[in-house]
Structure 1
Amino acid sequence: MKFVRYGEKGQEKPGVLDAQGRLRDLSDQVSDLSGEVLGRLGSLKADGPLVEGSPRIGTPVAAVGKMVCIGLNYSDHAAEANMTPPKEPMIFMKATSAISGPYDPIELPRGSVATDWEVEMGVVIGKPAKYITPEQVLDHVAGFVAVNDVSERDFQLHRSGQFTKGKSCDTFGPVGPWLVTPDEIADPQNVGLRILVNGEFMQDGNTRDMIFPMAEAIAHLSHFMSFQPGDIIATGTPAGVGMGMKPPRYLAAGDEVLLEVDGLGQQRMTVIQG
């Protein structure tokens, strides 16, 4: 099933796509797509009222507790960044205030000189997870989402401290459009993902090229922190980011970013100056 949240920012309602791809309201079944609801998505039915018109589509998960990102999880991306692939999953946190909808604009923060793109497959936790094994991971997963881990490279690499400064600006975490339940993704380790900027292909990769497969990475991280329903884990990006180009290429106001992850939908974002 494909779940969505629709409506103006801060006033989103839960919805689901029916078998014909039509948006139906879920408000009579759940108040929102968050918390314990994420552990029982399979019990919900796509038989609510049809939603008329073309409402804004927001992030498909509400009340995200934390957003954990796995860095350098594709060897080709590590190579283009001139960084040594890690020996175990490397992580950083993205502030939840960065999360935005899949069609909302990307806002260049004040002083930005190097805002970059990163297409990723995201995992949404549906049930509490702590000290789990790779074989148990999918039992704790509500579904998968497309993520753009937007990054300001100058903030990230040259403004002291860990990556978080360059990862957490407002609108730097577009998620969605859909939360797709695991039964619709035949193999999470064989999912194509790509980004176009102004119609030009920049990234074109596949999750099979991860250094640490999704289940292995999440199980590993569950020994350092517990995961709760609604947490999002972004699993890394393949080569093709602007930082890796010669010379580097970064986003500017007016650019259009088209992101697509097979089975998880498409994002379309315009870049604006903040």
Structure 2
Amino acid sequence: MKRARVACFGAVHEAVEVEGRLQLADGRTVSEKEVVWLPPVEPRTTFALGLNYADHASELDFKAPEEPLVFLKGPNTFVGHLGQTRRPSNISYMHYECELAVVISKRGKKIKRENAYEYVTGYTIANDYAIRDYLENYYRPNLRVKNRDHCTPIGPWFVEAAHIEDPMNLALRTYVNGVLTQEGSTRDMVFDIPDLIEYLSSFMTLNENDVILTGTPKGTVNVVAGDVVVTEIEGLGRLVNTIVGDEIF
């Protein structure tokens, strides 16, 4: 079942997909365009992976890392489906990153990889934009790269883990203005989901609604104001986002 969080009728509602419409918890149904889409989960701590696909690392002239490259993201970064992401006027290169987002189900520490999926409640799509102009280097992105307001669309749906047969074999695709620009598979991650859960929990406690953004494959290209970017992951849906310029603000 696909679940969402939306705002309509002056309140925030939990919703599910029923025959192409959204059914609210109180039984009312609305179309997808009658609501404001919110992030389908409210992340607690968000971990983002750098260079977790070997082909993406190679297109940036880096070798795949020997240990996960992880940085943290604040809650201000997230925006829902059909939202807008700002491209500053003084930059030259901003690109999308289609990523599988893993949502943690319960508190845990020192989790072994063979038990890792017991700590996953489900999955959603994230598009973690990066501005290359602001990068100090690809191993240590500074705050302006990954913690700008609304730089990470997420959603539209949260899908429970039981409904995804193999999260390590899902197709990922990105379209810019309807043109396919990125294509890959979660099977090509350098560090898979159990690896990441074991690694992170080896030195810190994971909690319910923590989120792991698992990295992006090759095929990232520059986007500009007015572009409509669609990131999709097999079984999870299509996340739509529009790039806007400074003049909107």
TM-score w.r.t. the length of structure 2 is 0.91
1:21 Cα offset (Å) = 4.9
Task: Map 1:58-207; keep pairs closer than 5 Å.
Answer: 58-62=38-42, 64-109=43-88, 111-157=90-136, 162-207=141-186
Listed one character per residue, the Cα deviations across residues 153-207 of structure 1 (whole Å, up to 9, x for unaligned) are 111237xx64432111111111100110011111011000010112222110000
Instruction: Read off the aligned partner of 2:6 and give its amino acid letter.
Output: Y
In the alignment, does 2:51 pair up with 1:52? no
**Amino acid in structure 2 at the alignment position of 1:263:** G
Aligned to 1:2: 2
Quote the Cα distance in structure 1 between the aligned partners of 2:233 and 2:56.
17
TM-score (norm 1): 0.83
Q: Is the 8 A contact 1:59 1:101 kept in 2?
A: yes
What is the identity, as a one-letter code, of the residue corresponding to 2:207? Answer: Q
> Structure 1 counterpart of 2:171, which letter?
G
Q: Secondary structure at the match of 2:37?
A: coil
Gaps of 5+ in 1: 27-47, 243-249
**3-state SS, counterpart of residue 208 of structure 1:** helix
Say if 2:107 and 2:207, in contact at 8 Å, map to a contact too.
yes
Q: How many residues align?
A: 243
Change (3 A) 1:224 1:112: farther
- Cα deviation for residue 23 of structure 1 reads 2.1
Contact 1:123/1:232, CA 8 A, preserved across alignment: yes
Aligned to 2:233: 261
Counterpart amino acid of 1:165?
A: R
Counterpart pick for 1:221 among 200, 211, 215: 200
How far is 1:3 from its partner?
Answer: 1.2
Amino acid at match of 1:14: E
**AA partner of residue 225 (structure 2):** A
